[in-house]
Amino acid sequence: MNIETIRFKNNRLLILDQTLLPHKQEYRTLKDLSQVIEAIKSLRVRGAPAIGIVAAYGLAIHALNLKALKKLDFVALKNAAQQLKQARPTAVNLKWAIDRQMAVIENLQNDQDEMVSALIHEAKTIHDEDRETCDKIGSYGDALIADGFNILTHCNTGFLATGGIGTALGIVYKAAENHKKVHVFVDETRPVGQGARLTFWELNQAGIPATLITDNMAGSLMKEGKVDIVITGADRIAANGDTANKIGTYSLAVLAKAHNIPFYIAAPYSTFDLNIDSGQQIPIEQRPKEEVLQFWNIPSNDSYQVYNPAFDVTPGDLINGIITEFGIIKKPFEKNIINVPKQFNKGDAT
């Protein structure tokens, strides 16, 4: 199976519109900066690595458009970069990808052709690297999966959320590829149902046994001994291992701890934010109240109060390990995260 979430061909950027899934598979062309920002904000494209990749291509599309108008220069791109970074505040991959883009054009003296080709090249590199990163995360994570395991996951971390097979879901795909019989409990993931609409769809497409549950069923499944491991993705990981991910992840980690079930995070190193010491400094996106109301067809009203944070923060204490493209980071996270690439390149840290 290979679901193409992001496509860049002949200078055209297309995304699979995830707001329409699983009912319709429709690609949408993103023609300019405002369409790219709208697609990220409205969750047409979502998942930390995927929004980084689309933002990187988005800056390249903006440069192409400015060049056609003979208005391309570094300052104009810096403004666009700022707008892209603000599209969603929590996933640090967005900032990381845009910073990479700005770094490659910094010394190009406003040469328009060179700027455009450098931005296109770097966006493609970020996209290709993510494909490889997902494969590596999948392989390292596969070591944690025994034949016959029941895996519980939250949100969507597969093809739709990345440039490759995914992170937490990538591990499931690798285990299945390695002939392990796995079964996945898929949390619905309210309010917009990335689990029900996206993960359940992906797993069914791939022919991997999956059972959809509502978010409040996880505890009872764990109590009945039906969950062997919980693996989720991440949107930002602080230097101490505190991890922001889709709202509901923290509850799963607490439940897993109470039932003595291993709880793992799977994420690329681009999701780590080493500039922050703890999860308290992670900005949490607040989403519109209509997302919660619409599920019940309740018309929105100015006086209605709705709490709708898109993410929560799971303390590092509750996490058994973080599966990255360099290997599985173990505790103490404060000591191990900062040294990851160095440590793992020497091959002495898993």
Ligand X SMILES: CSC[C@@H](O)[C@@H](O)C(=O)COP(=O)(O)O
How many other β-carbons are positioned within 10 Å of the β-carbon of residue 192?
Answer: 22
Answer yes or no: is 46 a known binding residue.
yes
Shortest Å, Cβ 10 to ligand X:
28
- Interface with ligand X, residue 49, by CB under 6 A: yes
The annotation status of 253 as a binding-site residue, yes or no, is no
194 binds ligand X (CB under 6 A): yes
CA pair distance 118, 105, nearest whole angstrom: 7
130 carries an active-site annotation? no
Q: What is the DSSP string of 251-280?
A: HHHHHHHHTT--EEEE--GGGEETT-SSGG
Residue with tokens 């681009």: 270
Residue nearest to ligand X (CB): 233
What is the C-alpha to C-alpha distance for residues 310 and 94, in angstroms, rounded to an integer? 16
**Residues in 144-173 that interact with ligand X by CB under 6 A:** 155, 157, 161-162, 166-167
Is 235 an interacting residue with respect to ligand X (CB under 6 A)? yes
Kindly determine how many residues on this chain lie close enough to bind ligand X according to the rule CB under 6 A: 20
Based on the shown chain and the rule CB under 6 A, indicate whether residue 246 belongs to the binding site for ligand X: yes
Cβ neighbours for 73, distance < 8 A, ≥ 6 positions apart: 66, 110
- Secondary structure element (H or E) that encloses residue 323, with its range: strand 321-324
Q: From the candidates 142, 187, 235, 242, give the one annotated as an active-site residue.
A: 235
Looking at residue 199, its amino acid is T
- Region from 20-28, 40-48, 79-87, 250-258 binding ligand X, contact rule CB under 6 A: 40-48
Report the alpha-carbon distance of residue 89 to residue 283 in Å, rounded: 6
Among 21, 33, 48, 282, interactor with ligand X by CB under 6 A: 48
Q: Does 88 count as an annotated binding residue?
A: yes
Give the C-alpha separation, 215 to 54, whole Å: 29
Q: Is 233 in the site for ligand X (CB under 6 A)?
A: yes
Q: Is 314 in the site for ligand X (CB under 6 A)?
A: no
> Which tokens is 59 given?
């800056």
Closest approach of ligand X to the CB of residue 211, in Å: 19
On whether the CB atoms of residues 205 and 3 are closer than 8 A, the answer is yes
And the tokens for 38?
């709208």
Site for ligand X in 76-135 (CB under 6 A): 91
Q: In this complex, which beta carbon is closest to ligand X, that of residue 60 or of residue 267?
A: 267
3-state helix, strand, coil in the chain (%, to 5): 45, 15, 40
* Residues in contact with ligand X by the rule CB under 6 A: 43, 46-49, 91, 155, 157, 161-162, 166-167, 194, 232-235, 245-246, 310
From the annotation, which residues make up the binding site?
46-48, 88, 194, 245-246
From the annotation, which residues make up the binding site for substrate?
46-48, 88, 194, 245-246
Q: Which residues are catalytic?
A: 235
